[in-house]
């Protein structure tokens, strides 16, 4: 029988192998839904619902839910925490810090529910999906540190950044840059690109390894060491502080029409 779960913690590491010392390849944020495919001791092999990404999580870090609750949360009206961190309080007066990008379902006057647990949150700390522009969302991550596998303002990787800002406008992208490069429509020339398009970059072997979001005035916002803004041209990303090109442009994609 298929098992379902929801992340009811601030963040949960998703690991490559069922071990605390294994590489973190992804990260669940509050409200993320998962399906369970296997178990090994205290570990669950899961697929995240929004992108079907596979990894292992500690079974004690997830809330088990039934299929009915899974469908309610999956199909309900999404809102997202917009501040770097927002305090939500449960009916038992337990406080929880939800990071930006945490998903709240069917919020009514600051109140929402997960698997029978009721929470309240200040109305100024979240937005309904799609009510803030993609660029405005991206700019809120400026200065966030780079962390492989991360999806929060406290540590985020290049494709995690792109995925979470699109998620907050209710568009689901795949997890890795190479997967995201297969979505959307091709833009043949950089002078035909517009703000909100995605630029993908490859290594010497031709493999897509990096992604960023194109801004106005030939600039790009991306996670590299930190979430930063650099110059972009048909060669790639030019880093002024290093006075060199750091990433080789491979392809430009448009996700939004």
Q: Which two tokens stand for residue 133?
A: 């522009």
Q: Is 141 exposed, middle or buried (0-12, 13-18, 19+ CB in 10 A)?
A: buried
Considering 50, 210, 234, 247, which one is annotated as catalytic?
210
210 part of the active site:
yes
Q: Compute the distance between CA of residue 254 and CA of residue 186 in angstroms, rounded to an integer.
A: 7
User: Residue 30's closest CA among 68, 74, 62?
Assistant: 62
Q: Compute the distance between CA of residue 113 and CA of residue 91 in angstroms, rounded to an integer.
A: 10
- Kind of pairing, strands 219-224 and 244-254? unpaired
Q: Compute the distance between CA of residue 102 and CA of residue 58 in angstroms, rounded to an integer.
A: 19
Q: Compute the distance between CA of residue 220 and CA of residue 198 in angstroms, rounded to an integer.
A: 9
Considering 158, 234, 235, 247, which one is annotated as catalytic?
158
47 part of the active site:
no
247 part of the active site:
no
From residue 135, give the alpha-carbon distance in Å to each of 130, 168, 170, 194, 197.
Answer: 12, 11, 14, 11, 10
Q: Is 2 exposed, middle or buried (0-12, 13-18, 19+ CB in 10 A)?
A: exposed
Considering 47, 222, 234, 247, which one is annotated as catalytic?
222
The residues assigned a catalytic role are 158, 210, 222
């Amino acid at each position: 029988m298929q098992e379902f779960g929801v992340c009811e913690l601030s963040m949960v590491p998703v690991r490559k192998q069922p071990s605390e010392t294994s590489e973190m390849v992804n990260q669940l944020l509050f409200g993320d839904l998962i399906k369970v495919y296997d178990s090994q001791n205290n570990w669950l092999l899961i697929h995240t619902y929004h992108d079907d990404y596979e990894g292992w999580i500690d079974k004690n870090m997830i809330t088990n839910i039934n299929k009915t609750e899974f469908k309610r949360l999956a199909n309900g009206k999404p809102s997202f925490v917009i501040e770097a961190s927002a305090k939500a309080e449960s009916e038992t007066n337990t406080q929880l810090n939800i990071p930006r990008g945490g998903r709240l379902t069917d919020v009514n006057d600051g109140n929402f529910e997960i698997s029978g647990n009721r929470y309240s949150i200040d109305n100024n700390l979240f937005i309904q999906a799609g009510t803030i522009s993609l660029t405005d969302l991206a700019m809120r991550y400026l200065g966030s540190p780079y962390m492989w596998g991360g999806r929060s303002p406290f540590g985020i990787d290049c494709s995690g950044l792109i995925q979470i800002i699109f998620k907050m406008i209710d568009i689901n992208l795949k997890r890795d840059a190479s997967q995201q490069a297969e979505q959307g429509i091709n833009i043949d020339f950089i002078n035909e690109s517009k703000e909100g398009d995605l630029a993908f970059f490859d290594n010497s072997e031709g493999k897509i390894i990096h992604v960023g979001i194109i801004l106005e005035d030939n600039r790009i916002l991306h996670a590299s060491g930190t979430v930063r803004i650099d110059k972009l041209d048909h060669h790639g990303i030019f880093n002024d502080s290093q006075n060199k090109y750091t990433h080789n442009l491979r392809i430009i994609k448009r996700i939004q029409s």
